[in-house]
Structure formats: C-alpha cells, structure tokens
Structure 1
Amino acid sequence: MAQVLERIEQYADEISAAGVEGDKLMRLPDTVAQRLRESGAIRMLQPKQYGGLEVHPREFAETTMAIGAMDGAAGWVTGIVGVHPWELAFFDPAAQDEVWGADPDTWMASPYAPMGIATPVDGGYQLSGRWSFSSGTDHCQWVMIGAAVGDKHGKRLLPPQMLHVLLPRSDYDIDQDSWDVVGLRGTGSKDLIVKGAFVPTHRTIDASKVFEGTAPKEAGRTETLYRFPFSCIFPLGITSSLIGIAEGALACHLAAQKSRITVAGTAIKDDPYVLFAIGEAAAEIAASRAAILETVDRFWDMSEKGQDITFELRAIGRRTQTAAAWRVVRAVDEIFARSGGGALQMKTPLQRFWRDAHAGLAHAIHVPGSIFHASALTQLGGEPQGIYRSMI
C-alpha cells in the first residue's frame, strides 16, 4: 500500500484540480484514469499471478479513502472498479487469461444487479438487457455484470438464478447520454446496452457461490484475501470512498475557516458553537473510518485462521459499514451548514464534496432497513429470510 499511496499522492493536487473537468465531462478525465492505472490502485486486490498486489483489504480501503479525499469521483471509481479483480480470481482460468493475459492493467466495469436475461444456448448463454450505473465504464475494456437466467423464451426462471458474466468492450454499447446527475458526476456511471451477445460458459459464474463463499474453494483459491467474505469486501470499496469524500470535505472546510470572519465580525476561531460542531463532525468521520477498518481487520484475522465468519457476524459488519456511511454524510452536512455562503460557489471544491457525499449515500449498499433488521433479528436468535439475507 505504501508504494501505491506514494505514487498517487505525488499527483494529489492534479487529481483534486481535475475534479472540475470531471464534473463537466461526466467521467474521469483521461489524466486521472492514467494516474490510477500507473499507481496500481486498481490491481490491489488482483492475483499476483496476473500482476496484482494481493494486499490486505485494509490497505485497499485506506488507499481508496485517500483518493476519495482528493476527488470523490476518483475515489468512487477506485473503490468499485478495484473490487472486480478480486472476483475475477474465482472465474475459469481461461476467462482470467482473456482479461489479463495481454495487459494486467485491464479494467472491468459493472454493475452486479441482474438487469438483463441470460438465455441458455449451446456452449453458454445469449445475453440481452440494459444496465444502469456502470461507474468508470469509459475507461474499462471489459464488464462484469449481473444477469438473471432465463428460459428458452427469455423469461426469468423461478426460483431466480443469478449469474455474474464477463463481456469484452466489443459486446456492449455505452449510452453516453444516460449520466447527467447532481453528484459523483465524474464517475461516468452510464448505462450499458447488450443485444444478444454470446457469453461462453467459462465467462460466467454462479453469483450465489460468490455471495456464500464457496466460489473461492471451487476455484482452488487458498489465499486469505480470496477467503474473505464478499459481503464485506464489495461494500468496503464503496463506503471507503464515501469516508474519503467526507475527509476531503473536512479538510476543505478547515482550510477555509482558519481565517474566516463572520458578518458579525467574529472570527470562527472565537465562536465556541461552531468549534463544537466542527469537532463533533470530525469525531464522527474519524469514528466511521475506525469502525469499518476494525471490521476488516477482525474478518481478515478470522479468515487467516480458517474460522467461520457467521451470518450474524457478517450482518453486524454490514450494519457497521452502513451506519458509517450515514454518519459521515450527516457530518458533512454539519460542516457545510457552517461554511458560510462562500461554500455555495461552484469554484470551491467543498460544494462538490457535499454533492458527491449525498450521491454516494444513495447507493443500494447503503440502504439500512433490511441490514439493521437482519442484524438485530439474528442477535435476538431469529433467522432472517428472503430479502433480509440479501448482500449479507
């Protein structure tokens, strides 16, 4: 991690400044994508045999936070695109060779939501559908997306069966007009369209095996990194970027408030009420960082020892992660509300951090209802069913 951070921190000012361009382009500027590529940030969870770094997930999270504090969109793309190499490690070696064989810096976009239908055909599936929110997709050469298995008529099977499938850039279209939003504009999270693409079986994986943790066993992956639970590592990249965004907002706020005088002629340094609010917000952000990193460290130690990370522990981990996301965004609101009218100027990075934070909180991985329900019910001796087990 130290090497990745050292590489990327050399360009911190450049990445921060490029956030303005990213907002206009509605995707990461090419220079920022190149800096991420050169630093190795997207290869942190990639197998060593394919040029990856196989770092501790804590290191991935801390790097994502640092990049998010430079620019929210860059952190978001790092946190999402950076997780896909972890899952590709479970695919058929032929698929891994196709993606990484010629270039270990090949990126994959997503999303995982089963928005399309995969109809079985000889040797694989025929895939059609439209997927939204493909973050960083303009800079990716492949996509790893979710698909519901259909019958011969293209209707979803019941009970539902879900695959994660790989497609090269030549097999899908990007709707360039589908991303015009208020926050995280620079992520370029556009829609993907697939029309009858053939997906060979070796480029598919049963999504339930990834969620349940049997995929790494079947793939022969014995490394601690790949025995780590999906329900911790997938949300980790997203929430880490959100915490980084909050840390970036706090840094901008503090820099502006050091010499600020209110209209009443009071220096912010002399206003005890504002100082209390700033201190409380800073404490909430720090607590959120510490909380998710503690979960990562504990799950890593258990994985390394071969111990079972139970549903209850995973549910509590998701509760911690989700609560951390909400806590940091509330803290950003407290900061922004005390930044004065100057923070509304589009030329200030604080307003972009504020917009990006709220956009990031809208991700499905941060919806608290079912997660809080499942964690509480499990601790009370109950057994969550159906949707209450989703993504845990």
Structure 2
Amino acid sequence: MTNPVLDAIMERAEEISALGPSNESLGRLDDQAAKALRDAGVIRQLQPRAHGGLEVHPREFAETVMGIASLDGSTGWVAGIVGVHPWEMAYADPKVQEEIWGQDPDTWIASPYAPMGIARPVDGGYIFNGRWQFSSGTDHCDWIFLGGMLGDEDGKMAQPPKSLHLILPRSDYEIVPDSWEVAGLKGTGSKDIIVKDAFVPSYRTLWYDKVVDGSAPREAGLTNPSYLMPFSCVFPLGITAAVIGIAEGALAHHLAYQRNRVQITGTRIKDDPYVLYAISEAAEEIKASRTALLDNCSRMYDRTAAGEEISFADRAAGRRTQVRAAWRAAHAMNEIVVRSGGNAMRLDNPIQRFWRDAHVGLAHAIHVPGSVYHVSALTDLDIEPPQGPMRSMI
C-alpha cells in the first residue's frame, strides 16, 4: 500500500528531526514543524474528501503517525491527536463543517474530549463553561472539540448525567499560557483551555453516547467504513501509534549511538552479547507492538466494511490490544535505553528525549490498563461488565 503523505514527510525527515529541540524549548510545535505537517497533508488524512480531505485507510494514518513520531515525539503526537479530529468532524452537522473548512481545508481542530465543562441549555443551544487540561497542538488550531456534561437550568450537572462534545471557534475560548510544564512531550504544547459563558449553537454539538455506539455517523448518512469504525478503535489509534513511533525512534538512535561505542570496561558494544541480545529482543517487541496495533485497526475496518456489528466485547478486546501495544513498546524501549550508558542521558543526545516522550505518552488516559483489562477479561468470561466508568472508554 502506497502512502504519499508519509513519503512526503520522509523527504523532510532531517528537518523534522532537527526541530525536536526547538519544539521542546518553545513548549509547542515550532511553526516550521507545523508547516511540514500541513504541507504533507498529515492532518487531512481522515478528513472528508468533500472538504479537501484524503479519506485514507486508518491504518495508513497510523503508519504516518508512527513515522513522524520516530523522527520527533512531539510532532508525531500532535499528528496523532489533531489528525483524528477530522474523523469525528466528518459526522458533525454540515453547517459547522463548512464553517471550519469552507475557506481553508487546512484548518486544524484541537480537543480535549474529557467532560470538564457544563453545557446549560438555552434557546438554540447551550451556555458553556469550564476548564480543560491537555489540549495538544492547540496553538496551531483555530477550532476545538471540548467534552461537557449536560447542565440544568441552574448550570449544575443534570441528572442522570449525559455527556456531549461541543465545537467552538478560537474566539470562544482562552489558551492558558505556561500551563504545559512537563517532563516529556514538551513540544506538543498541550495547554489548558478556559471557556467562559460561550454560546454554542445546537448544530455544533454531538452526543457522546451516539459517538461511542456508532449511531452518529450512521445518522449522518456516512458509508465509508473508516467513519463507521468504533470510536474506541479510531480515537486511541493516533495516540498509541505515536508512542510506538517514539519507541522506534529511540531504537534507531540507540543503534546509531551504540555502533561504535566502547564501554568503560573497554568492551565494544559489538562484542557484548548481553547488549546485543537486548537490542534484538527490543527490536522484535517494538515491531510486535506495531503489528498488533495495525492488525487490530485493519480487522476492525474489514469487519465494518463487511457490514458486521462490532460488539462491546469486540471493542473491549480491541482496546486491550491497543493498550498492550503501547506498554509493550515502552517496556522494550526501556531495556535498550538503560543499556545506552550515562552519556545517553545528556540533553544533547536525542535518546533521552525519546525516552521521556514515550513515558509521558504512556501516561495518557487512553493507555491506563486497569479498567480495560478488567472489562475485557469479564467479556471473555461471558460476564456482563458493570455499568459506569469502567465502560466509558470502550
């Protein structure tokens, strides 16, 4: 399968790699790094063709994210996070699609989806308030998806709780400066967002339960299997692909660094069987992570294209595969990084940046294994998992 977007990125591989320290220093993507993503069409991969998008197979999108992340973790992370938002926007109201992409199909959309705001119903829409963390790539975006809870007439959370995604233009929210001081993925600029009394018309909203159960794209009349795939498969795809790509980048830098390295004992790495064993084992574990994630995505796509229903148990198993892929890649990366020697931890050595980036990426909520493993094990036992938070990310 050809991948013109990834080919275009790889033509600028040295440039993207070299921008890693600048991204980290700025605390957001360097404008030149963002331009490289725009020029290659990275963020338009899952965007509808009707609005200048490419509508690629989600596997192709994941492969692109991995390739970018292997060059620079922050650039790959932004590609994975911001790159998935056009996929959901594809089944939003055509009116908001036109507002966002009508003048410029390269308009980027930020997030987060965590329901940290309250949407109080009013005539024609909602009055929205809240504060969110972790809005990756937000400095380069002009619109945003934000998660919220339905409120009552007093602005308190309605009962029973009901969640929705709200879509706002840049004029309706504030990006909080200096709110992203972290150990890794510094260049993602994943800053806080504040919304104060913004009016969000109803057509700029999506009900979360319809997004998760797959009824939203079907009600929108979409037929491309990519848009009918489970949210719990596609949404984590770019995030996990970034972590795996970062591990691949760490491996590449480790190999380059170890090739001529002589240990303090005087032993050349090429003559140390223990390090060579670790390199081979890590390489296979990282490759296995890549294969598992891409195979899971492809199987979900093929089943969706065949008109099969993806059950809750299937979604849980898919999430288990995705979570484990991220952890496997990070564990494998650790085994080689700790064998890279003390000089690998110097700030002018990229190995330490990839190592930090991978661990911060692993800390994303989508990679927390507890509830996913719990629920998937229950479904394997043919036991219905309890309702509530444990099901919320499946």
For Structure 1 versus Structure 2, the TM-score category normalised by the shorter chain is over 0.9
Taking the aligned partners of 2:334 and 2:3, their CA distance within structure 1 comes to 32
Q: 5 Å matches for 1:142-181?
A: 142-181=143-182
Structure 1 residue runs without a partner (length 5+): none
SS of 1:308 mapped into structure 2: coil
> Which residue of structure 2 aligns with residue 339 of structure 1?
340
Determine whether 1:374 maps to 2:375: yes
SS of 1:130 mapped into structure 2: strand
Taking the aligned partners of 2:148 and 2:389, their CA distance within structure 1 comes to 18
> Which residue of structure 1 aligns with residue 393 of structure 2?
391
CA-to-aligned-CA distance 1:93-129 (integer Å, 9 cap, x gap): 1011001111110000000001111000111000011
CA-to-aligned-CA distance 1:324-374 (integer Å, 9 cap, x gap): 111111111111100011101100111100000000000000000000011
> Which residue of structure 2 aligns with residue 116 of structure 1?
117
Taking the aligned partners of 2:391 and 2:201, their CA distance within structure 1 comes to 30
Measured after TM superposition, the shift of residue 175 of structure 1 is 0.4
SS of 1:83 mapped into structure 2: helix
Determine whether 1:260 maps to 2:257: no
Kindly provide the amino acid, as one letter, of the partner of residue 335 in structure 2. E
CA-to-aligned-CA distance 1:138-182 (integer Å, 9 cap, x gap): 000000110111011111112111110110001111001111110
Taking the aligned partners of 2:366 and 2:55, their CA distance within structure 1 comes to 24
Query: 380-389 or 178-187, which moves further after superposition?
Result: 380-389
Q: 5 Å matches for 1:1-392?
A: 2-385=3-386, 386-392=388-394
Taking the aligned partners of 1:256 and 1:177, their CA distance within structure 2 comes to 34
SS of 2:182 mapped into structure 1: coil
Kindly provide the amino acid, as one letter, of the partner of residue 211 in structure 1. V
CA-to-aligned-CA distance 1:51-104 (integer Å, 9 cap, x gap): 000010100000000000000000000000000000001111101100111111
Taking the aligned partners of 1:296 and 1:2, their CA distance within structure 2 comes to 16
Aligned residues: 392
SS of 1:42 mapped into structure 2: helix
SS of 1:195 mapped into structure 2: strand
TM-score, with normalisation over the residues of structure 2? 0.99
Measured after TM superposition, the shift of residue 388 of structure 1 is 2.3
Kindly provide the amino acid, as one letter, of the partner of residue 117 in structure 1. I
CA-to-aligned-CA distance 1:246-303 (integer Å, 9 cap, x gap): 0000000000001011111111111111111111111110000000111111111101
Query: 98-107 or 6-15, which moves further after superposition?
Result: 6-15
Structure 2 residue runs without a partner (length 5+): none
Percent of pairs with identical residues: 61
Taking the aligned partners of 2:151 and 2:311, their CA distance within structure 1 comes to 32
Taking the aligned partners of 1:129 and 1:211, their CA distance within structure 2 comes to 22
